[in-house]
Structure 1
């Protein structure tokens, strides 16, 4: 496994380099944690499995994606993300991205 640190963080708004969509990161895996079947069918560009992968809510859609770090870049457009699950994960959009909800135990 790689000792590479994640370049992006939960709440950060990102842009997918290949597909052009914007989204917000809701979770980070230190390396690929999906199935081999999913990787073979979906990850056509064969991104490295030993680098961070991100769970991203897609702007203007109702689904999320699982994206390799090399396919993401910081979002330059700015502005909020429109996604039905946004409020489940975040409180509000701040200057440095979305602020996560604090869990009460």
Structure 2
């Protein structure tokens, strides 16, 4: 299990939404800085391309049409306070349920 990232604004289990695009999701992993391919990063339009020296979050994401896994920079996420559940089909594989608006990671219950 990875060590917690002290400087990350969001934590595993938090529900967030994208600042610009219409999707939301639950965080299931955090990278302390960019850890994807250069091709992925360069595919983002330059005017909205995030800095690499910030936490990046792995989300079980969803929008009106689909459920998918997203990789999003901290600067492009905001808290989602809607209290609406995440309906992504993998939620139950990674989380045991919700408590106080956050999802409880299965990994945190295995030690």
Fold-level match, TM-score > 0.5?
Answer: yes
Number of aligned positions between the proteins = 103
Match of 1:32 in 2: 34
TM-score by length of 1: 0.87
The alignment's C-alpha RMSD in Å is: 2.1
Deviations 1:24-54 (A, max 9, x none): 0010000000011110013641101010000
What's the CA shift for 1:79? 2.1
For structure 2, the 5+ residue unaligned runs are none
Does residue 1:53 correspond to 2:56, yes or no?
A: yes
Superposition pairs of residues 1-105 of structure 1, within 5 angstroms: 5-42=7-44, 44=46, 45-59=48-62, 61-102=66-107, 104=110
For structure 1, the 5+ residue unaligned runs are none
The whole-number CA distance in structure 2 between the counterparts of 1:43 and 1:81 is 28
Contact 1:53 1:68 in 2 (8 A): yes
